[in-house]
Homo-oligomer: A and B are copies of this chain.
Amino acid sequence: MAIKFDFTNAMNSAIGEAHGINPRAIEALESRAQAIHQTIQTQRKSGTLGFYHLPYDDCLVRAVRALAATVRKTCENFVVLGIGGSALGAQCLCRALTHPYHNLLPRKMRKNTPRIFFLDNVDPEQVSGLLNTMNLKQTVFNVVTKSGTTVETMATFFLFYNRLKRAVGAAQIDKHIIITTDPHKGELHRIARAHRLRTLPIPDNVGGRFSVFSAVGLLPAAVVGINIRALLQGAQAMDKRCRSTRLWRNPAYLNAAIHYLADTKKGKTMSVMMPYSYALTVVADWYCQLWAESLGKRLSLDGRRVEVGQTPIKAIGATDQHSQIQLYNEGPNNKIITFLQVDKFRKQARIPHLSGLSPSLHHLMGVELGELLNSELLATEFALTKNKRPNVKFIFDAITPENLGGLLFLLEVQTAFAGGLYNVNANDQPGVEEGKRATNALLGQDSPQALQKKAELDAFQKRKRYQCL
């Protein structure tokens, strides 16, 4: 693994005291860091923090690889039905470690792996559209939800189940479905047993947003030919690097502390992740879920109303230099930016020498695109730092399964530790329950609570409205 973490431009030496972190502020957190570290270690050992154990489950790797090999041979389309943490991890791995236009290539150029689709929504146009692109006889669906009650995933599962039954017949349907869910309980687990469907487990102690190294992330990755063992080795290596109790020596704890201090002491209420690499774009989406859902909490661990959480934002380099950077440079100084840099890309493409061009463009001649992209990153970093906007950087020597596994694991540890700094439960999501209850009530769920919620919603709908147009 070869990732570097550079946080020079978040410090007071680079951007001054008003916006930069004073090293003493980090040192002042050391004793809290010790306590948080102890809690995390206890939870790791007791099994509450399941994500720590995932990179070491060799038994799972063998099961996933065997299943993936079967799937690869027989199917042309692999469709993941999952939403949020049940889709983002696998999407992130596939974007980073397959061809950028994987689904448009002929099978041979895809290394004999299937096309891969992630259906993470219930838009009827999108769902119908997806059906136009594939022959269901050549398709395998991977249904991913831990609880087995996620409305969106179950809705699309039922829909495709019915279509599959018509297309391949009830007797063959088990060849076209793989269930990833709780191994012991839940509706999807029950359905899988009743219909003898193939299953992979999501351990009870692993939340969706921490599940990338479980079967949730590993099966889709293995199906498209990603070396999942190397991925996990990268996570293991990062686990070793993130064991120090000293903030200065532990990159995950340190970056958590930098973000926490930037948010709570310097008004950086937003955390932008900006990869300068197409392959790493979905890392930003994955991080946005991890950071938002883990830390965005009303109540502290001791039950006080705190309403904390930094808002994560995805930006793409160099593209968003032509969209967001104007605001980042000149607008309110309320963001900390994390760049992802790749030193050596897997492909080269060089701007040719052309004649007859204006001298103002001569300096582009012969430049390799990776060099151009990294010059743009450095230039953006330079301009932001001049404007006293804090920024940090993860530098990959190259995009490999090891490095990616390392970065994702680091960000998980960082998030768990940040939960300690913010003093919130990083593993729950109580703020989505009200919406779920309301959805079920609107769809006519039959329970006293649902009926009461429906009445509330009717009143909400009947209020006097402000409208224009």
User: Is A174 an interface residue, CB under 8 A from the partner?
Assistant: no
Q: Among residues 54 to 100 in chain A, which have CB atoms less than 8 Å away from a CB atom of chain B?
A: 83-86, 88, 99-100
Interface CB pairs A-B, < 8 A, 10? A3-B469, A5-B468, A7-B466, A84-B322, A125-B345, A128-B349, A155-B364, A251-B469, A293-B326, A297-B326
Size of the A side of the interface (Cβ < 8 Å), in residues, is 159
Binds B, one of A36-44, A135-143, A210-218, A369-377: A369-377
Chain B residues in 8 Å Cβ range of A84? 319, 321-323
User: Is A333 an interface residue, CB under 8 A from the partner?
Assistant: yes
- Copy tally for this chain in the complex stands at 2
B307-A330 in contact (CB<8A): yes
User: Is A334 an interface residue, CB under 8 A from the partner?
Assistant: yes
A323-B269 in contact (CB<8A): no
CA distance A77 to B182 in the complex (A): 45
Chain B CB count within 10 A is highest, among A330, A360, A457, for A330
B325-A132 in contact (CB<8A): no
Binds B, one of A27-35, A101-109, A197-205, A226-234: A101-109
Chain B residues in 8 Å Cβ range of A307? 330-333
User: Is A361 an interface residue, CB under 8 A from the partner?
Assistant: yes
CB proximity of A400 to chain B, nearest CB, Å: 13
Query: What residue in chain B is nearest A430 (Cβ atoms)?
Result: B330
Given contacts A161-B352, A371-B443, A378-B461, 9 further A-B contacts (CB under 8 A): A3-B469, A5-B468, A10-B466, A121-B373, A125-B278, A293-B323, A297-B331, A314-B314, A382-B438
Q: Chain A 286-310, CB within 8 Å of chain B: the 1/0 string?
A: 0011001101111000000001110
